[in-house]
């Protein structure tokens, strides 16, 4: 009986330790993603300050003039040092349209679900 309890206790402690280390690894990965997002935002701000990309307000006006509806979401991506925004526009008919815009030129690259 004592031996069984001891084995149970040892296995329980080992399991808790294994689960705890998994949680730490996941948390570290989340921090890495957050740091990368911060670096992307910093690079974008620098590009806007140097005039290499248009401001978000200007890009929103371009999208609003091209696609009827309300902009409900905006995502930013920096691909191979090319700044691209994706706007989601909710039209009055209920359709959700995705508009991809080159942040440097303001050119609309793609309109999905139009």
Q: Is 84 exposed, middle or buried (0-12, 13-18, 19+ CB in 10 A)?
A: middle
Chain-centroid distance, C-alpha 70: 21
pTM for this entry: 0.64
For residue 111, is pLDDT > 70? yes
The alpha-carbon radius of gyration of the chain (Å, integer) is 24
Long-range own/partner contacts, residues 28-33 (CB < 8 A, 24 or more apart): none
Instruction: Tell me which of 38-42, 49-53, 101-105 is least confident.
Output: 38-42
Query: How far apart (Å, rounded) are the C-alpha atoms in residues 74 and 70?
Result: 11
């Amino acid at each position: 009986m004592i031996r069984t309890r001891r084995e149970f206790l040892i296995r329980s402690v080992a399991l808790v330790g294994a689960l705890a280390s998994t949680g730490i690894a996941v948390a570290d990965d989340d921090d890495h993603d957050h740091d990368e997002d911060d670096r992307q935002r910093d690079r974008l701000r620098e590009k806007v300050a140097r005039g290499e990309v248009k401001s978000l307000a200007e890009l929103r006006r371009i999208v609003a003039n091209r696609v009827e509806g309300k902009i409900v979401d905006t995502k930013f991506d920096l691909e191979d040092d090319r700044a691209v925004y994706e706007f989601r526009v909710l039209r009055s008919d209920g359709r959700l349209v995705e508009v991809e815009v080159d942040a440097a030129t303001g050119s609309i690259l793609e309109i999905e679900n139009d």
